[in-house]
Structure 1
Amino acid sequence: MSTETRPGIDLTVFSFVFPLVLLWPFVTSNSNVLSSVSLPGSAQGTSVLQELLDGPLKGYDLFIFDDTHSSNVYWNEVQTLDSTVIQTSTDELDPTKFPLKTGKNFSVIWLIDSNDFKIDKLIEKPSLWCPQKLVVLSLSADVELSKLIDTKAIQCSKFAVIITPSKTFETSLVYTTFPLQRNSLRLLGRWKVQSFEKEESIFIDRFATFSGSVLQLASWCDDYPQLYALPYPHNDTCVGSNRDALDIVSSHLNFTYNLEMEPFDCLWGSIENGTWTGMLAEIAYHGKNITINYFTIVLDRYIAFDSTYPHQAEAFAFMARLPKPLPKWKSVLYPYARVTWISIGVVTLLVAVMFPILTRIDVGDDSSELQFSKALLL
């Protein structure tokens, strides 16, 4: 780590990066940080970055991810002003500790200079790298945008903007993508600070509407009550609570969908010998978009697929084998407790002893008061 001081500007070079969440309490939002980033010789890219920091990203807390391949030219004099900047590269980034902070004034800047996107090799699950606001700054006009928009790193960000040098003009072009539209790449214009001075002009919600897209469902209509077929003769119609919910979402986001009655292999969906089966195989390999059937979220599924928040809880309990039925002769004894049966036995014995004694007592014919009292007592 090396440090040098200028009037009004503290310049800190990070040789390694701790997790953003751990560093946050130690870094004040008004600190001025200079990141020495190893980049290709692109004065245009350097200028665009400085204009971003002075314009729509002014005051933002930034995570700059260096995904470039050249290391012979360095940024110099990049002033971040009132921003906190943490910079790292693919060699330093721990894939289990991607930036976790989200919020209105936080953005990730992803620097690229070729079609070899190294970050894609680090991301096992796209949602682990999911900054809400992502700026992709290309430093080479040779980067193919068609490949870029299909990378994992750009998939789930709500706001994503691509800034790349023009091949024909001495300027940079600004794009965004709408993944579910037929022509997903949309040009926002040439890069000018005046045109993109406000964040609303550069950060456009990519998922506000699906623009009439048709989603392909991997489904199995044998999942009552979430998804099930009606009785014959309407057994080719699939209904259920999850389909009702999807209809509500589709009307709000403007999309339709095609549903299938069962998966191609008639399996639910698990991983066998490294290959997915059932409905999950259709999503992984056969171009289906989503499934709305019931799935328990286990580790393998969590790593490989994105899921919604669970809307139904399933209870778990211990189970034991039922005891054998009691013999029929015990059905007479079973209704009463042991103490009751002992009491009945004692009383029976006492009565059996008392009756012979009572029959042998001669009360006599004397009707005197004493004899009457004796008889009454007995």
Structure 2
Amino acid sequence: MAGEWNVNVYLLTLSVALAQKNSQGLTPRLDPLLIHLEEEAARVLRELLKGPARDHEVTLLVEDEVLKVFDVERMLKDLPVPARLLLPPSGTIVEELGQDEIPAVTIYDNALRVSVGCILFVKSGVVVALVGSGSSWPLWSPPDWWLPKAVVLVVVSKTCRARDLLQTPLLESTTSVAVLCPSFPTGNPQRPVFRVSTWLPYSADENLLQLGDWDPAAFPAWDDFFYDRFSDFGGKAIHLASDYDDMPLIFETDDGLDGTNIRMMDALASLLNFTYTSTDEAPDAEWGERDENGTWSGMLGELHRGVKDLAINYFTVTTERAEDFDYSVPYYNEGFGLILKIPPPLPRWRSVLYPFTAGVWASVGVAFIVAVFSFHCLAKRRTQTSFAVNVTTIFKGLTTQSLATVPGSWLIRGFLGLWWFMCWILDISYTCNLIAVLTVPVYPTRIETVDSLAFSDLRQVLFYWFLSRDGFFFFFRSVLSFGLLRV
């Protein structure tokens, strides 16, 4: 069971008192309400990790003011999951670290293992925060790259400002959020009850939604606990960054706007209860690119500055854009391919050369020259034959021609025997390959890789097509060289 979760505890507000408390022991707690609140918060935390947050990576944030009052280490030991308590050194300012990492001094887990290292923020998953006043840095100044899947605030204080907590920047930028606020019943104040709330940012009536008192039976799964906050936009106007010259996704007709993206926006507006506005182009008539200062231009610039809410034109997924913008689920895939004309068969008169490759023919030529000079040196001392006769003798082996007389020297006979055996193997291989070549026409080597295309003499013909209002396709052709691929 311990292997189902991975819980990291980050203590984010750093102070000298925190380090002193860690070395001298916890501050005595004299308020009985806080003692019962600690016990109830520990129980809720256990049930939360077993229920809605199960099978999710969880990061537990603890405010410094909570650590001063509650025995957080004991609460973590009671969790049925691995838990680590991170104690940063006192006097360190988180902002000086660039909001990227927090130095770790000691890490405690269920086995009380102590280690030293540096733990990085997790970029996704479920964040469970034990907060008091809710003034900690992660809630108000979260890093841009920190995108948790869900955030749960467990308030361990006598007062709970759920409305303010749910409007902190971290929760406003997170899809699934919930706040558990303690309440102390009049009849039994020693038994605090946690009430679950969430925030509906587009509700026309009341934004704060009470989901009820915490009960593991009432909130057993993810969908039961995390309310869908974006099922109704309450008639809000969504401002689109758009360009009407984007056939067939967005274009103008005599009856108004049309296109695939416009029809999708109409369907979403009807389903989610919102309206939208659009523009024919960006103020600078550009789609958008980022300069060296990180400033975006065009439609993406309007979106990045918050002037617009959504850009719906043809935007491909790039690493640069993904750093500053969130993409929807891809709904259109576009593929590109290369089309080459099938080359004609090679001339049949060259078929006598096709059985062997150029390398094999070169090897045969080298072997023939070596054999001629070697045989001539042997025959010159014993038979006194001319150089022309010796060349003819070696060449007859390649053409499977017999000799009129066999040399009397056994050394020469042995040499010719080895040469004729090699020639016999070559002749059989050549004959078999020649039959195959004559049976099946030989074509030039086809281009199957980008490298072979780059180093070929071919040129590319690009076709661009657009759908007109009358339903016809117009094609434009341009010829480009593949020479740039060689760089």
What interval of TM-score do these two structures reach, taking the shorter chain for normalisation? Answer: 0.5 to 0.7
Q: Say yes or no: does 1:135 pair with 2:152.
A: yes
Q: Say yes or no: does 1:28 pair with 2:25.
A: no
Q: Say yes or no: does 1:149 pair with 2:167.
A: yes
Contact 1:238 1:261 in 2 (8 A): no
For residues 339 and 294 of structure 1, the distance between their equivalents in structure 2, rounded to whole angstroms, comes to 52
Q: Say yes or no: does 1:264 pair with 2:294.
A: no
Q: Match of 2:63, as an amino acid?
A: T
Which residue does 1:206 correspond to in 2?
229
Contact 1:63 1:85 in 2 (8 A): no
Contact 1:64 1:85 in 2 (8 A): no
Q: Match of 2:245, as an amino acid?
A: D
For residues 36 and 94 of structure 1, the distance between their equivalents in structure 2, rounded to whole angstroms, comes to 10
Q: Match of 1:78, as an amino acid?
A: M
Displacement of 1:36: 11
Higher relative contact order (CA 8 A, sep 6+): 1
Contact 1:123 1:129 in 2 (8 A): no
Distance 1:306 1:86, change over 3 A: farther
Displacement of 1:278: 1.6
What's the secondary structure of 2:311's corresponding residue?
coil
Which residue does 1:161 correspond to in 2?
178
Which residue does 2:271 correspond to in 1?
252
Distance 1:81 1:69, change over 3 A: closer
Task: Judge which range, 253-262 or 136-145, deviates more.
Answer: 136-145
Distance 1:278 1:87, change over 3 A: farther
Which residue does 2:243 correspond to in 1?
220
Displacement of 1:29: 4.1
For residues 79 and 197 of structure 1, the distance between their equivalents in structure 2, rounded to whole angstroms, comes to 22
- Aligned Cα RMSD in Å? 4.5
Higher helix share: 2
- Percentage of identical aligned residues: 23
Aligned mate of 2:198, from 176, 182, 187: 176
Which residue does 1:312 correspond to in 2?
332
Distance 1:180 1:129, change over 3 A: same
For residues 226 and 30 of structure 1, the distance between their equivalents in structure 2, rounded to whole angstroms, comes to 44
Paired residues for 1:285-300 under 5 Å? 285-300=305-320
TM-score by structure 2 length?
A: 0.47
CA deviations 1:163-221 (Å, max 9, x no partner) are 23579997655320123334673141674549956556643222233333321111111
Aligned mate of 1:72, from 61, 68, 88: 68
Displacement of 1:293: 0.7
Displacement of 1:307: 0.5
Displacement of 1:289: 1.5
What's the secondary structure of 1:249's corresponding residue?
helix
Displacement of 1:51: 3.7
For residues 251 and 286 of structure 1, the distance between their equivalents in structure 2, rounded to whole angstroms, comes to 24
Distance 1:69 1:56, change over 3 A: closer
Which residue does 2:38 correspond to in 1?
46
Displacement of 1:248: 1.7
Distance 1:53 1:68, change over 3 A: closer
For residues 56 and 27 of structure 1, the distance between their equivalents in structure 2, rounded to whole angstroms, comes to 15
Aligned mate of 2:131, from 103, 107, 112: 112
For residues 231 and 201 of structure 2, the distance between their equivalents in structure 1, rounded to whole angstroms, comes to 11
Displacement of 1:317: 6.8
Which residue does 2:120 correspond to in 1?
94
Contact 2:153 2:178 in 1 (8 A): yes
Contact 2:289 2:300 in 1 (8 A): yes
Q: Match of 1:94, as an amino acid?
A: L
For residues 46 and 38 of structure 2, the distance between their equivalents in structure 1, rounded to whole angstroms, comes to 12
Distance 1:57 1:309, change over 3 A: same
What's the secondary structure of 2:312's corresponding residue?
coil
Contact 1:66 1:88 in 2 (8 A): no
Contact 1:51 1:193 in 2 (8 A): no
What's the secondary structure of 2:302's corresponding residue?
helix
Distance 1:229 1:138, change over 3 A: same
Contact 2:139 2:171 in 1 (8 A): yes
Displacement of 1:77: 4.5
For residues 35 and 319 of structure 2, the distance between their equivalents in structure 1, rounded to whole angstroms, comes to 46
Distance 1:303 1:271, change over 3 A: same
For residues 36 and 288 of structure 1, the distance between their equivalents in structure 2, rounded to whole angstroms, comes to 35
Displacement of 1:144: 7.4
Distance 1:112 1:210, change over 3 A: same
Q: Match of 1:268, as an amino acid?
A: W
What's the secondary structure of 2:321's corresponding residue?
helix
For residues 330 and 149 of structure 2, the distance between their equivalents in structure 1, rounded to whole angstroms, comes to 20
Distance 1:287 1:52, change over 3 A: farther
CA deviations 1:107-142 (Å, max 9, x no partner) are 54123333233266553235x4224xx321233547
Distance 1:257 1:50, change over 3 A: same
Q: Match of 2:196, as an amino acid?
A: V
Distance 1:116 1:247, change over 3 A: same
